[in-house]
Amino acid sequence: MTDRFMQAARCPTDELSLTNCAVINEKEQQFEQHVTVRNVAHMYVFTLKTHPSVNAGTIAFSLPQRKWAGLSIGQEVKVTNYKFDKSKQCISTMTVEIDFLQKKSVDSNPYDSDNMANEFIQHFNNQAFSIGQQLVFSFNDKLFGLLIKDIEAMDPSILKGEQNSGKKPKIEIGLLLGNSQVIFEKSESSSMTLVGKAKTRESRQSIISPDWNFERMGIGGLDREFSDIFRRAFASRVFPTDIVEQMGCKHVKGILLYGPPGCGKTLMARQIGTMLKAREPKIVNGPEILNKYVGESEANVRKLFADAEDEQKRLGANSGLHIIIFDEIDAICKQRGSMAGSTGVHDTVVNQLLSKIDGVEQLNNILVIGMTNRPDLIDDALLRPGRLEVKMEIGLPDEKGRVQILQIHTAKMRQNDLLTADVDVKELAVETKNYSGAELEGLVRAAQSTAMNRLIKASNTVEVNLETAEKLQVTRHDFMGALNNDVKPAFGTNQEDYATYIMNGIIRWGDPVSAVLEDGELLVQQTKNSERTPLVSVLLEGPPNSGKTALAAKISEDSQFPFIKICSPDKMIGHSEIAKCQAIKKIFEDAYKSQLSCVVVDDIERLLDYVPIGPRFSNMVLQALLVLLKKTPPKGRKLLIIGTTSRKDVLQEMEMLDAFSTTIHIPNISSGEQLVEALELLGSFQDVERASIAEAVRGKNLWIGIKKLLMLIEMSVQMDPGSRVKKFLTLLKDEGALGSDKFI
C-alpha cells in the first residue's frame, strides 16, 4: 500500500530543517525517496528523510515547508509515493530568489553566486523542487530564505546524444541533478550583494550544452578532438547519477593530451575547466612538483588531491568535479627505473600519483589532465584504463582548422575595420601548411608589427606619426612579408636546406633527366593519392657527380609537400653512432607529425660510414635506416622517402635495396650530343666555341657527371677567350671523360 494518511508534525532538529526534506520514522518502509503530500485540494512533492525521533504515523515539516504547503501541526494529510519521469522532469535551469532570512543578519558583504550554486547543488542533489517552494539555505554560516521562481527541464535529446533543439520546456516540479544549473537572483526589496556568473542566466555555461562557442573560447581547429573528449570523458557526467550507477559505469578520471608544441594542448586543458561546472582547475607544471627534500615531492602530489578527498568524504556522490592539470607531465612521470644513477625520487612520485588517481581508496570526483610533447617517456602504468585512459593527439591543424584559428586571431581587427579587403583568411590558410596554432598567432602578430612599423617616423627619436596612426590597416602585403621572412613552421620546409642543392637549376641535357623527373612526379602523386601505399620510397643511384642529390631536391621541392627534410651526412659530422641514429630517428618522427611529408636520405653510404678498405661501416646506423625505411607512418599520414647513393653494389650486399619500393638509375653524360646540349643550356660558351667543342667530341666516347662538367666549365671560362675551348677539352681528357672506354 503506497497511500497513507498521516499527521503533520514539527521538524525535530534545526539541522534536519535545513535539509529541505520531510522527515518520517525509519520503520515507514512503504515509502520511497519522493512523496506527494495532499492538503485538501492541493498536492506538494517532498523528498523524504528518516529519523528515529519522529513518531510512526506522523510526517515532520520545517516552518518554511508548512508555510508553503499551508499545513498546521496535527493536520491529517494523504501521503503517496511519487516517481519522477527522468526524460521530462530533470532540472536544466532553476531560478531562485534569495534574501537574508532575518533582518538582523543583513550585511553588505558580496556573496559569490557561483560558490553558492555549487553548495546548493551539493546540499540538495537529487531532491524535488516546485515553483513557489520556500526553503532555508545555510551558506558561509549565514541563513538565507529562498523562493523557487522558475524551473526549466533538460532537453531529452541531450540525454539521447542527439542535437540540441534549443528549447527547454518549463515545468512545475523537477528533480535537481549534479549538472543542473542554479541561478540566484536577489529579491526586489533585498539589500544583498551578489557577485559571480550564476547571478545572470546568459553568461553561465553548462556541461550539458553541446553548442559551446569554440571561437569565443579562443580555440580553433580542434572540433573533432573536443567531441571525442566529450564522448569519452564527460558523457557519463551528463547523465543522472542513478542511471550511471545502474549501468555500473565509472567516470573517466584521466586524459593525456600529446602532440607537437604550440598546437593547443594547454589552451584545451584550460578551456575544459571553464566549460565544466567544476572548481577552478589546479594547473601544475611538472617540474614544480619535484623537491630536493626526501618525501616532499610525494607530499606535493598529495596536496593536489587533498580538497577532492575531503569533499568526497563529506558529500560522497554529490561532490563537485575537481580538475588537476599537469603541464609537461613527462618531467615527473618517466618510466620507473629508467633513470640510471638517480635517487629514485621520480619513481616514488609516479607511485604516489598512481595511487591517488586509481589506488585502493578511489576518488570519483577528479579529472586529471596530463600534457606532453613526449608520450613515449611516460610510465606505462599511468596510461592504462582507469588512469590517463583517454589519449588524444593534438596534432597540426588542417586547412579548415587553420581558417578557424586565423579568424579567431584577426577577429578584433576585422571588427574595428583594421584589415584591408585584400586579406583573405582562406588564402593564408592554404599558404600556412604545417603551421601550429601558436605559429599562426605569431604570423598575425608579425603582420601587425610590420603594419605598425610603417607609421613610425625615422628621426632622432622614435615617434609614431599620429596623423596616419588612425588610418592604420594591416594589408595582405604585411601577411605575405611575415610569411616569407618572419615566421617559419617548426615542422615544415626549410627552403635554404634544399635550395643549395639546386642553386644551378636542373640541366635537362637529355631524355634520362626528363625520365627521372617524370618518374619522381609519378611517385609524388602515388604518395598523395593512394590509400594503399601510405609509404613510398625510391632510391636514386648512379655514378658520383651525376646530380642525384639535385634531382632528389627538385622532386621534393616540386611535390609542394608541407614537410620536406633532407637527412644529410654533412649535418652529422662528429656524431657518435648513437647520436647519428637519434638524429635520423628525429627527422622521421617529425615527418610522421605532418599529413604529407618527404624525407631525402642523401648519400647513404656516407651516413653508414662506409669505406671500401676494411671493409668498415656502421651496423647500428644501417639497422636504424632499415627499420625506418620500412616503417609505415601513422594512420592518416603519408610519407615519401627519396634516397641517393653512388654505391648500389654496397647497398645490395647490405640488403638495403629491398627496403626501397623502387630504384631509378641516374646516368652520366655519355655522348657528344648530350654534352653540347648541356653546354647550350648552361650558356657559358659562345656559339663559335660550342661549335668547336662539338666538332672535337663528335663520335668520341664520353662519360662525365653533370656536376663535374659544371666544375670544368667554370674553371675553363676563367681563361682568356681564345684559350677557353682548348683548356676545356684538355680538362675533359685529364679527367678521363673524353676518348676513353673506361666506363663504357
Instruction: Tell whether 225 and 292 lie within a shared domain.
Output: yes
End of a domain among 28, 51, 81?
81
pLDDT tens for 502-540 read: 888 899 998 999 999 999 999 999 999 999 999 999 999
15: CATH: 2.40.40.20
203 within some domain: no
End of a domain among 81, 113, 139?
81
Angle, to 10 degrees, between the axis of helix 548-559 and the axis of helix 511-529?
40
Which residues belong to the active site? 548-549, 602-603, 630, 707
Instruction: Tell whether 428 and 475 lie within a shared domain.
Output: yes
DSSP letter for each residue of 79-105: EEE----TTT-BEEEEEEEEEESSGGG
426 within some domain: yes
Instruction: Tell whether 441 and 470 lie within a shared domain.
Output: yes
Q: How distant is the alpha carbon of residue 219 from its chain centre?
A: 10
Instruction: Tell whether 128 and 175 lie within a shared domain.
Output: yes
Q: Assess contact for 101 and 195: CB atoms under 8 A.
A: no
Q: How many CA atoms lie within 13 A of 525 on its CB side?
A: 6
Cell numbers 596536496 correspond to 303
Q: pLDDT higher for 473 or 248? A: 473
Instruction: Tell whether 545 and 628 lie within a shared domain.
Output: yes
Q: Assess contact for 144 and 136: CB atoms under 8 A.
A: yes
Supply the pLDDT for residue 273. 64
Sign, CA torsion 290/293/294/300: negative
The amino acid present at 318, given as its one-letter code, is N
Instruction: Tell whether 361 and 223 lie within a shared domain.
Output: yes
Distance CA 9, CA 24 (A): 10
pLDDT tens for 84-115 read: 888 788 888 899 998 888 877 788 788 888 88
Task: Tell me how many domains the chain contains.
Answer: 6
pLDDT tens for 234-274 read: 777 766 666 777 777 778 888 898 888 888 887 777 777 66
205 within some domain: no
543: CATH: 3.40.50.300
pLDDT tens for 420-458 read: 888 899 999 888 887 888 889 999 999 998 888 877 765
Instruction: Tell whether 358 and 405 lie within a shared domain.
Output: no
Instruction: Tell whether 544 and 459 lie within a shared domain.
Output: no
pLDDT tens for 389-405 read: 888 888 888 888 888 88
58 within some domain: yes
Supply the pLDDT for residue 417. 85
End of a domain among 665, 694, 718?
665
For 70, the domain range is 4-81
pLDDT tens for 155-199 read: 766 544 444 555 678 889 999 988 788 888 887 777 787 876 554
Supply the pLDDT for residue 203. 34
How much is the CA Rg of the chain, to the nearest whole Å? 37
Top mean pLDDT of 231-240, 592-601, 698-707, 727-736 is at 592-601
Residue 307 has pLDDT above 90, yes or no: no
Supply the pLDDT for residue 737. 66
Task: Find the mean pLDDT for residues 315-337.
Answer: 78
Partner residues linked to 40 by β-bridges: none
412 within some domain: yes
Supply the pLDDT for residue 502. 84
Instruction: Tell whether 552 and 444 lie within a shared domain.
Output: no
86 within some domain: no
Task: Find the mean pLDDT for residues 720-743.
Answer: 76
Instruction: Name the nearest CA neighbour of 423 among 497, 483, 377, 477.
Output: 477
442: CATH: 1.10.8.60
743 within some domain: no
Instruction: Give the lowest-confidence range in 198-207, 651-660, 673-682.
Output: 198-207
Instruction: Tell whether 258 and 270 lie within a shared domain.
Output: yes
Instruction: Tell whether 382 and 406 lie within a shared domain.
Output: no
Instruction: Give the lowest-confidence range in 200-204, 267-271, 381-385.
Output: 200-204
Instruction: Tell whether 409 and 459 lie within a shared domain.
Output: yes
Which residues neighbour 628 within 8 Å (Cβ) at sequence distance 6 or greater?
584, 585, 588
The share of the chain scoring above pLDDT 70, in percent, equals 87
DSSP letter for each residue of 475-490: -HHHHHHIIIII---T
Top mean pLDDT of 333-337, 519-523, 707-711 is at 519-523
Task: Find the mean pLDDT for residues 617-628.
Answer: 94
Residue-averaged pLDDT of the chain: 83
Task: Find the mean pLDDT for residues 130-147.
Answer: 89
What cell numbers appear for 142 in the block?
Answer: 549565514
